[in-house]
Amino acid sequence: MYPLWRKDVIPALIRHSNLHLSRIRFFLLLGKKLPEFKLTDLRGDEFSSSQLIGKSALLNYWAIYCVPCVAEMPELNKLKEKYGDKMNFVAFTENTCKDDDLIKFLEKHPFNYYILQNAENYKKTLKISAIPRNLFIDKEGYVRYIQGNFPYTAFDLEKGIKKYDDNNYFVKIIEELTAIQ
């Protein structure tokens, strides 16, 4: 892409590589303990990372303006419905319940995860630069998998909707994590 023999392109190479590194830096969390957090839910109750210990968890980072986030919510709700007794399902949003848009949004688009608000700083701690982002945590609190949005197998152009496979890698990861418990 850049001719390496030219001295004047080195700064461009560094900028280019840093841009790509910033997009994948969160993968450095794999195999490590989830960084601690204390956030509030939509009722104002405090929730911390220590409350996740003892049960595996799916942590979803989303926002009301994120179209792929909204598209995956019904499928994520189905996962919680099926596996909710075996693992924790927690969603982080940078929005707050003081934001009327968030409340109105959730009335139109139910999201059955335990929602933690005002998580923008934690997003930075995790080095997440793109959403949705899904982190799968084991019962000891270690990050085992990091995925983008819920996988879909096809797109129906006529209806403009995505088709999902019931036995995708999200399901396989959850079954693996819950089998260990």
- The predicted-structure confidence for 89-112, as pLDDT tens digits, reads as follows 999 998 877 767 888 999 999 999
Kindly give the interhelix angle for 67-83 and 169-180, rounded to the nearest 10 degrees.
40
The domain ranges of the chain are: 30-180
User: Sign of torsion, CA 19 20 25 28?
Assistant: negative
Of the options 3.40.470.10, 3.40.30.10, 2.40.37.10, 3.90.226.10, the CATH number for the domain spanning 30-180: 3.40.30.10
Please give the Cα distance from 158 to 177 (Å, whole number): 37
Q: How many CA atoms lie within 13 A of 30 on its CB side?
A: 7
Bridge partners (DSSP) of residue 2 are none
pTM over the 0.75 mark: yes
What confidence tens digit (pLDDT) does each residue in 56-79 have? Answer: 999 999 999 998 999 899 989 999
